[in-house]
Amino acid sequence: MIFVTLIKFKKKASEVVEFGKKMMKDLPAGVKIIGTYWMLGRFDAIWIYEGSSEKDAVKMWANARDVVKTETMVALTREEALKLL
């Protein structure tokens, strides 16, 4: 499964960066980061990653509540979505 997590910083960017480095070193088993980007607008960053289930996404952000606010969505490739039509 592919997940997209929109991230809003609750702390200074420098603190969020340090937290993110720790997260990257301790990803749940089976999670693979596809990309991370900083953004302009309503959200500060976006992480795109693969995991085996929604449980992986929950595990990933469970300890981040003091540092960031997140909104996570499941993404399908265009081809996967077309098969469902």
Reported as a single tens digit per residue, the pLDDT across 44-77 is 999 999 999 999 999 999 989 999 999 999 999 9
> Cα(2)–Cα(13) distance, rounded to whole angstroms?
26
pLDDT of residue 78: 95
| Per-chain mean pLDDT for the chain | 94
What domains, with CATH codes, occur in the chain?
A: 2-84 (3.30.70.920)
Strand residue runs (E) in the chain: 2-9, 32-38, 45-50, 68-75
Residue 1 near residue 37, CB atoms below 8 Å: no
pLDDT score, position 24: 92
Identify the bridge partners of residue 32 per DSSP, sorted by sequence position: 50
How far apart CA 11 and CA 80 sit, in angstroms, is 37
| Residue 27 token pair | 């990803």
For residue 32, the model assigns a pLDDT of: 95
